[in-house]
Amino acid sequence: MLRYLTAGESHGPALTAIVEGLPAGLPVEAEYINHHLARRQQGYGRGKRMTIEQDRVRILAGVRGGKTLGSPVCLQIENRDWENWSETMDPGPGARTDDRVVTRPRPGHADLAGVFKYGHRDVRNVLERASARETAARVAAGSLARRLLEELGVEILGLVVRIGKVEVEIRDLPRDVLRARIAESRVMCPDAVASLRMLEQIDRARDEGDSLGGVFEVRAYGVPPGLGSYAQWDRRLDGRLAGALMSIQAIKGVEVGLGFAGAALPGSAVQDEIFHDPERGFYRSTNRAGGIEGGITNGETVVVRAAMKPIPTLRRPLKSVDLVTRTPAEAAFERSDICAVPAACVIAEAVLAFELARACLEKFGGDSLDELLDNHRRYLQRVREGSWAPCAT
């Protein structure tokens, strides 16, 4: 089974990810992972931390000569800011645990709930791991899964559809046009006019000491039908994708296809009618289901959206209570972003890629890339030919 674990604190020496279950023979290069790590750091509205860190991955195990070995892959991303925190965050007994102590929990963070759960007296022991800095390791791990999906003809594309009050309806554009427009936008929005309005909103929030959230969409093109299952609740792919997206810091809502909008429509305007063509096989003229029916991919583009709440760390602090004195206080301020919706979109691409790659390996199997590709090819051939079903006479 494809799986991964991450470790590391925001201001610790490094972030680490271990990925297990990749087939042998998958071409992997550090620069491919670095490209997506750089995308995560971009986006208008990011904080000063992004000027310190220039994330680069070190592949420590599981790859030789540019190809996976079938054994666990170990990835490491150095925290360049560690040099400013080496005494405070030293793993050894000599750490300055009395330095940079945080006792004023921030509303909207894991601060107070984490203190309750683990019994810490210093909120720093919570916020260092709960920080979205951890997602750099997830993007690295997800990039390996993304690389595997590319071998299977699957492309992942993320875009921002809302920041604050500015929302755009995405027209059905050719994939290459959509990709180019996203690349030209500083907020990953394919609408140029909406992009400018989003930038203005972010500037206004910065001037007011506030923050902004938004909504992003991730599409997976070329996903084969048959991934996931209706047989058990935990195998339904839409549930797994929703769980993966909700695990990203600050994500508060997920929808597949029409999602919540479909609740206001009659059934005839929600379902995707089925057609057949000798060349195309079975297909739909609409994709309101977002490519998933009954927990299983149906061969159409997988489309998911997620809502990100505004960053809760504000330069204009919210009310809190000091853990030591129990008296009213202003919440602690840690260096933060004004808007991280484009970054969250890149992270969502990674976690979506990982779940889809996991589902592909469950469906097609194979300990080597050649075996996986052969199984995938033969399955798609059966689907196109309809050899799994009786033919009409």
pLDDT by residue (tens digit) across 11-35?
A: 999 999 999 999 999 999 999 999 9
pLDDT of residue 43: 84
What is the arithmetic mean of pLDDT over 99-109? 94
Task: Look at residue 306 and tell me whether its pLDDT is greater than 90.
Answer: yes
Residue 241 · residue 204 · CB < 8 Å: no
Q: What angle separates helix 30-41 from helix 341-364, to the nearest 10 degrees? A: 140
What is the arithmetic mean of pLDDT over 311-339? 88
Q: What percent of the chain has pLDDT over 70?
A: 96
Listed residue (364, 383, 384) closest to 374, CA to CA: 364
pLDDT of residue 45: 79
What is the arithmetic mean of pLDDT over 95-115? 94
Task: Look at residue 389 and tell me whether its pLDDT is greater than 90.
Answer: no
Q: Which of 43-57, 120-134, 309-323 has the lowest mean pLDDT?
A: 43-57
Listed residue (159, 138, 162, 163) closest to 247, CA to CA: 138
Q: What is the pLDDT of residues 41-62, one digit of tens each?
A: 988 876 665 566 689 999 999 9
The token pair that represents 343 in the structure block: 């970054």
Mean pLDDT of the chain: 93
> The pTM is what?
0.94
Task: Look at residue 314 and tell me whether its pLDDT is greater than 90.
Answer: no
Task: Look at residue 392 and tell me whether its pLDDT is greater than 70.
Answer: no
pLDDT band of residue 147 (cuts 50, 70, 90) is very high
pLDDT of residue 278: 85
pLDDT band of residue 336 (cuts 50, 70, 90) is confident
What is the arithmetic mean of pLDDT over 258-278? 94
pLDDT of residue 387: 67
pLDDT band of residue 393 (cuts 50, 70, 90) is very low
Q: Cα–chain-centroid distance for residue 118?
A: 27
Q: Which of 74-78, 95-99, 324-328, 386-390 has the lowest mean pLDDT?
A: 386-390
Q: Which of 80-84, 231-235, 240-244, 247-251 has the lowest mean pLDDT?
A: 80-84
Residue 343 · residue 46 · CB < 8 Å: yes
65 burial type by CB count under 10 A (0-12 exposed, 13-18 middle, 19+ buried): exposed
Looking at 3.90.650.10, 3.60.150.10, 3.30.1330.10, 3.40.50.620, the CATH number of the domain 3-385 comes to 3.60.150.10
Q: What is the distance in angstroms between the CA of the first residue and the CA of the last residue of the chain?
A: 42
Q: What is the pLDDT of residues 74-89, one digit of tens each?
A: 999 999 999 999 999 9
Q: Phi, psi (5° rounding) for residue 207?
A: -65, -30
pLDDT of residue 51: 61
- Could you give the C-alpha distances from 77 to 80, 91, 258, 297, in angstroms and in order? 9, 17, 37, 34
Measure the CA–CA gap between 341 and 230, rounded to whole angstroms.
Answer: 32
What is the arithmetic mean of pLDDT over 291-300? 97
What is the arithmetic mean of pLDDT over 255-266? 95
Listed residue (271, 278, 274) closest to 392, CA to CA: 278
Q: What is the pLDDT of residues 356-381, one digit of tens each?
A: 999 999 999 999 999 999 999 999 99
Measure the CA–CA gap between 299 and 215, rounded to whole angstroms.
Answer: 25
What is the arithmetic mean of pLDDT over 283-292? 95
